[in-house]
């Protein structure tokens, strides 16, 4: 039985690493649409088309449950997919839910009216497409009131990470944090709204200062997935064996993935 994990590139490996450690008895099929990465600069219709193609490929692998370990896809495509595309025997979950659960300290199934929460000033760092979708602000507004969210589109960071240029990535992180602070000088919390960004969590924290609580997604998603599978064990699917698939060059993607996770990762052509 296998669960699918999808990302436009390699950032979702941060989620895969966390969920694999949390759920060692579950097989995972990771699908990286490296040929079309990054998604953060694409329009919503293009993101939707690419995401549905990838999810269909994971269903073909026997993954009845697919995690969109890509904030851009979660922001720009998931709601539309859930409303009109996903069949009743399949599930596709995004990565915003665990973040908002953690930040508002309320369960996703809690349908009580929005209420005030402790954190009032939140910095959101994300791709341009995620920022323009305003999906995070929309979902947060259903559950909390009085929260000021200042979003910063972090152009170039994903490309630098995918290229393995961590010096450039750090410089870009510092630049984007500076730009955010000009708009919101004293954020109480920061959301790393892209699954690539945990690879730069220390740099974000250093630039923001120790007084800012940084919410990163990987472990939050792992805990939420474990809870979901406890409640819906039938969604583990029929797939057998873990594997890594990519629409890009398997050798190149494998080398980058091995650098990311510091263990041997071998991708196959999707």
Nearest to 217 by CA among 6, 11, 10, 8: 11
- Give the whole-angstrom CA distance, residue 245 versus residue 63: 13
pLDDT at 207 over 80: yes
Section 37-43 average pLDDT: 90
Q: What are phi and psi of 267, to 5 degrees?
A: -90, 150
**Can you tell me the distance from the alpha carbon of 2 to that of 65, in angstroms, rounded to the nearest whole number?**
8
Among 108-117, 143-152, 252-261, the least confident range: 108-117
State residue 164's pLDDT score. Answer: 85
Mean pLDDT value across the chain: 92
- Does residue 192 sit in helix, strand or coil? strand
CA distance 29 to 249: 17
Please report which confidence band the pLDDT of residue 109 belongs to, taking 50, 70 and 90 as the band edges: low
Q: Are 192 and 70 in contact (CB under 8 A)?
A: no
Domains of the chain: 2-94+218-269 (3.40.50.1860), 97-216 (3.40.50.1860)
Give mean pLDDT, residues 258-262.
Answer: 87
**pLDDT exceeds 80 at position 165:** yes
Confidence tier at 40 by pLDDT (50, 70, 90)? confident
Q: 108 pLDDT band (50/70/90 cuts)?
A: low
Q: Which residues are catalytic?
A: 70, 194
- Alpha-carbon gap, residue 159 to 24, rounded angstroms: 31
Summarised one tens digit per residue, pLDDT across range 218-233 is 888 999 999 999 999 9
Q: Look up the pTM and report it.
A: 0.87
- Per-residue confidence at 13, pLDDT binned at 50, 70, 90? very high
What pLDDT, on a 0 to 100 scale, did the predictor assign at position 112?
82
pLDDT for 143: 86
With a cut of 70, say whether residue 268 has pLDDT above it: yes
**Of 223, 226, 218, 228, the residue nearest 261 (C-alpha):** 218
């Amino acid at each position: 039985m296998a669960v699918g994990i999808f990302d436009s590139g390699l950032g979702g490996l941060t989620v895969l690493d966390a969920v694999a450690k949390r759920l060692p008895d579950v097989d995972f099929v990771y699908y990286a649409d490296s040929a079309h990465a990054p998604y953060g600069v694409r329009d919503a219709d293009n993101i939707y088309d690419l995401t549905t193609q990838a999810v269909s490929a994971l269903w073909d692998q026997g993954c009845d449950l697919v995690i969109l370990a890509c904030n851009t896809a979660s922001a720009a495509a998931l709601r539309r997919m859930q409303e009109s595309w996903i069949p009743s025997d399949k599930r596709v979950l995004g990565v915003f839910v665990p973040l908002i659960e953690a930040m508002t300290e309320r369960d996703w199934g809690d349908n009580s009216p929005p209420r005030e929460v402790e954190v009032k000033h939140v910095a959101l760092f994300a791709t341009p497409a995620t920022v323009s979708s305003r999906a995070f602000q929309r979902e947060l507004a259903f559950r909390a009131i009085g929260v000021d969210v200042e979003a910063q589109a972090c152009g170039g960071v994903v490309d630098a990470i995918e290229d393995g240029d961590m010096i450039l990535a750090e410089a870009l992180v510092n630049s984007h944090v500076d730009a955010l602070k000009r708009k919101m000088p004293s954020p109480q919390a920061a959301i790393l709204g892209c699954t690539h960004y945990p690879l730069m969590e220390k740099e974000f924290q250093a630039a923001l200062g120790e007084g800012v609580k940084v919410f990163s997604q990987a472990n939050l998603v792992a805990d939420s997935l474990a809870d979901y599978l406890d409640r819906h064990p039938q969604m583990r699917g029929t797939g057998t064996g873990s594997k890594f698939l990519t629409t890009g060059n398997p050798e190149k993607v494998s080398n980058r993935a091995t650098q990311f996770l510091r263990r041997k990762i071998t991708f196959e052509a999707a």
